[in-house]
């Protein structure tokens, strides 16, 4: 009998449920997209109830898939959760109902608020404690915005019945049945993205909460527990998997690092999904970046927490979705690739895909998406190619910053995520960073990471050494094919484009 582990992957554009065996192979899965809500320019919301129902639908779909393939759901020992990070949900502790749509991590409505916060006394001390530079990206300003603008939220706060959570916390709460069980927890990889958590203690920090003027007697914050834990996350109460314990929880980027088995200091991975995120394992002490990167928790299993340096890029695959959905440039991302591959180069076009400002290592919030270098010569293919290249340029900028912060150049970049399916994008990436790019055969590494966290807690695997053979065969290596000189010429043009587009807003 083979033991199985389920993994909920609640992403920015889709939810998934995958079932893995002990060899780390997905044996069944189901995925659904859900509604993206854009109420104003720069605003981005999700319906919290739809996030839950999409996850429940995926669990049902994957279980059906398992049974159709002759599998037995009684072999599922535990479930892990991985999720889009920073996205902010607020609910009423009495009813368990959300008090507003979730504000998504990409949302920039708080840019004025953030500018104001930067002038508050105590601002300079924040990054040293929580690892993140203040921007619209973490959860803190999203929560402050809700308190300031939504009377229902403010009233719940004043009456001591306002619960805050990132998506992991919300899902765990609802999947446990809501207010009855009242399981309100989060793991450090998620909690560290709120700007409320002290990176070293992995607990809330009064200096941070005081800075944001939040009163813990009025606000219910999730209890921070380890990412892999047999008894803190409760269990599923409904559906075909009712009774199965939830034993693992990791923010999606941490999960991908775990799924790539980036367990030693110096290991890094880059995930090209809706956005793109490079995480570099720095070991058991956090490294506060001097070059525009984030310090974050990689995972906290047993023993000590393990930390990472992170380079966050807000827009990756979402640029392709924009070309497809908003401009009808192509019908899907495969066709974007065909268009891009149909031209020799970008034809002089640079696409600064700053739909949410620019994140790492630039942190420029007064920039919006900008296409530069268009002439009568420009074809669709050039724009498609520039969209693929944009994420590769930003990854190059992040690797340069990472080298300065860590003192070590990376030897090889492990990749995954939807956009890593693009051969052209991965070759371009290798060309621009002048080191090999290593893409595994099984690219659902985010879900695999959640399964690993859950499986370790219930001893499906006894330790991380038992994971060493997982997903090692059948990958692809992209070697750099252009000279460093040519690569640096392309990069210089990108940097010029970034500074040309800045200050427009």
Ligand X SMILES: Nc1ncnc2c1ncn2[C@@H]1O[C@H](COP(=O)(O)OP(=O)(O)OP(=O)(O)O)[C@@H](O)[C@H]1O
How many residues belong to the site for Mg ion (CB under 5 A)? 3
The candidate with the shortest Cα–Cα distance to 49, out of 100, 86, 93, is 100
12 contributes a contact to ligand X by CB under 6 A? yes
**Local structure of residue 125 (DSSP, 8 states):** G
CB of 423 to Mg ion, least distance (A): 20
Give CA–CA dist 366/136, Å, rounded: 12
Selection from ligand X, Mg ion, none that 419 binds (CB < 5 to 8 A by kind) is ligand X
The candidate with the shortest Cα–Cα distance to 361, out of 314, 329, 296, is 314
Structure tokens belonging to residue 388:
């693929």
Strand ordering across the sheet containing 26-33: 26-33, 14-21, 4-10, 76-83, 246-251
Residue 11 or 222 with smaller CB distance to ligand X: 11
CB–CB of 424/341 below 8 Å? Answer: yes
Structure tokens belonging to residue 102:
């979730």
CB of 417 to ligand X, least distance (A): 4
Instruction: Point out which span in 7-15, 172-180, 314-322, 346-354 binds Mg ion (CB under 5 A).
Output: 7-15
169 contributes a contact to ligand X by CB under 6 A? no
Cβ-proximal residues to 156 (8 Å cutoff; 6+ apart), any chain? 90, 92, 99, 162
Helix axes 333-341, 423-433, angle to 10 degrees: 60
11 contributes a contact to ligand X by CB under 6 A? yes
CB atoms within 10 A of CB 225: 18
Instruction: Point out which span in 9-17, 39-47, 317-325, 337-345 binds Mg ion (CB under 5 A).
Output: 9-17
- In the list 24, 188, 361, 418, the residue contacting ligand X (rule: CB under 6 A) is 418
Instruction: Point out which span in 47-55, 202-210, 356-364, 415-423 binds ligand X (CB under 6 A).
Output: 415-423
Map the footprint of ligand X across residues 247-306, applying CB under 6 A.
Answer: 252, 273-275
50 contributes a contact to ligand X by CB under 6 A? no
11 contributes a contact to Mg ion by CB under 5 A? yes
Map the footprint of Mg ion across residues 242-281, applying CB under 5 A.
Answer: 273
357 contributes a contact to Mg ion by CB under 5 A? no
CB–CB of 48/56 below 8 Å? Answer: no
- In the list 321, 380, 404, 493, the residue contacting ligand X (rule: CB under 6 A) is 321
Selection from Mg ion, ligand X, none that 321 binds (CB < 5 to 8 A by kind) is ligand X
Residue 439: phi, psi to the nearest 5? -110, 120
CB–CB of 361/292 below 8 Å? Answer: yes
CB of 218 to ligand X, least distance (A): 31
Residue 395 or 502 with smaller CB distance to ligand X: 395
Give CA–CA dist 283/266, Å, rounded: 8
Instruction: Point out which span in 11-19, 43-51, 295-303, 474-482 binds Mg ion (CB under 5 A).
Output: 11-19
Give CA–CA dist 7/17, Å, rounded: 6
Give CA–CA dist 87/165, Å, rounded: 9
Q: Is residue 61 within a helix (H) or strand (E), and if so which, with residue range?
A: helix 48-68
Stretch 65-104: interaction string toward Mg ion, x if CB under 5 A? ----------------------------------------
Which residue matches tokens 């995958």?
18
- In the list 69, 115, 152, 334, the residue contacting ligand X (rule: CB under 6 A) is 334
Instruction: Point out which span in 11-19, 197-205, 295-303, 464-472 binds ligand X (CB under 6 A).
Output: 11-19
330 contributes a contact to ligand X by CB under 6 A? no
* Nearest-5° Cα angle at 154, 150 to 155: 115
Give CA–CA dist 503/251, Å, rounded: 32
Residue 147: phi, psi to the nearest 5? -65, -35
Selection from Mg ion, ligand X, none that 318 binds (CB < 5 to 8 A by kind) is ligand X
Selection from ligand X, Mg ion, none that 82 binds (CB < 5 to 8 A by kind) is none
Map the footprint of Mg ion across residues 434-453, applying CB under 5 A.
Answer: 446
- In the list 93, 240, 421, 434, the residue contacting ligand X (rule: CB under 6 A) is 421
Beta bridge partners of 373: none
Residue 111 or 312 with smaller CB distance to Mg ion: 312
Selection from ligand X, Mg ion, none that 12 binds (CB < 5 to 8 A by kind) is ligand X
Q: Note the residues at the interface with Mg ion (CB under 5 A).
A: 11, 273, 446
Q: Note the residues at the interface with ligand X (CB under 6 A).
A: 11-14, 84, 252, 273-275, 317-318, 320-321, 333-334, 337, 417-419, 421-422
């Amino acid at each position: 009998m083979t033991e199985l582990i389920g993994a909920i992957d609640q992403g920015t554009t889709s939810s998934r449920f995958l079932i893995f065996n002990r060899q780390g192979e997905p044996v069944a899965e189901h995925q659904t997209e859900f509604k993206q809500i854009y109420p104003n320019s720069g605003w981005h919301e999700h319906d919290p109830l739809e996030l839950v129902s999409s996850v429940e639908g995926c669990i049902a779909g994957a279980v059906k898939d398992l049974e159709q393939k002759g599998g037995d759901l009684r072999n599922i020992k535990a479930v892990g959760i991985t999720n889009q990070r920073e996205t902010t949900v607020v609910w009423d502790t009495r009813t368990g109902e959300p008090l507003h749509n979730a504000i998504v991590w990409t949302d920039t409505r708080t840019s004025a608020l953030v500018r104001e916060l930067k002038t508050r006394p105590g601002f300079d001390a924040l990054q040293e404690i929580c690892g993140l530079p203040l921007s619209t990206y973490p959860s803190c300003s999203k929560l402050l915005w809700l308190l300031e603008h939504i009377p229902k939220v403010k009233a719940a706060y004043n009456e001591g019945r306002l619960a805050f959570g990132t998506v992991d916390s919300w899902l765990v709460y609802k999947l446990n049945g809501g207010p009855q069980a009242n399981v309100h927890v989060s793991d450090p990889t998620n909690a560290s993205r709120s700007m409320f958590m002290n990176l070293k203690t992995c607990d809330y920090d009064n200096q941070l909460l005081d800075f944001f003027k939040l009163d813990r007697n009025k606000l219910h914050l999730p209890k921070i527990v380890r990412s892999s834990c047999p008894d803190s996350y409760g269990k599923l109460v409904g559906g075909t998997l009712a009774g199965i314990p939830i034993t693992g929880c990791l923010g999606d980027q941490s999960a991908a690092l775990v799924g790539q088995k980036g367990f030693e200091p110096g290991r890094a991975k880059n995930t090209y999904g809706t956005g793109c995120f490079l995480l570099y394992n720095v070991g058991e002490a956090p490294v506060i970046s001097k070059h525009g990167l984030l310090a974050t928790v990689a995972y906290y299993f047993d023993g000590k927490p393990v930390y990472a340096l992170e380079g966050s890029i807000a827009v990756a695959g979402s640029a392709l979705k924009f070309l497809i959905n908003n401009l009808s440039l192509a019908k899907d991302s495969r066709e974007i690739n065909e268009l891009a591959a149909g031209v020799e180069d970008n034809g002089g076009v640079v696409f600064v895909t700053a739909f949410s400002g620019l994140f790492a290592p630039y942190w420029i919030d007064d920039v919006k998406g900008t296409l530069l270098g268009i002439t009568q010569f420009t074809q669709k293919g050039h724009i498609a190619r520039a969209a693929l290249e944009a994420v590769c340029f930003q990854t190059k900028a992040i690797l340069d910053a990472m080298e300065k912060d860590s003192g070590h150049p990376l030897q090889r970049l492990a990749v995954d995520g939807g956009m890593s399916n693009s051969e052209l994008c991965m070759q371009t990436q290798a060309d621009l960073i002048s080191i090999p790019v290593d893409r595994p055969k099984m690219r659902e590494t985010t879900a695999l990471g959640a399964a690993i966290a859950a499986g370790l807690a219930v001893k499906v695997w006894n330790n991380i050494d038992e994971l060493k053979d997982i997903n090692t065969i059948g990958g692809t290596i992209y070697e750099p094919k252009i000279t460093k000189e040519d690569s640096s010429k392309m990069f210089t043009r990108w940097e010029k484009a970034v500074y040309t587009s800045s200050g427009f807003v």
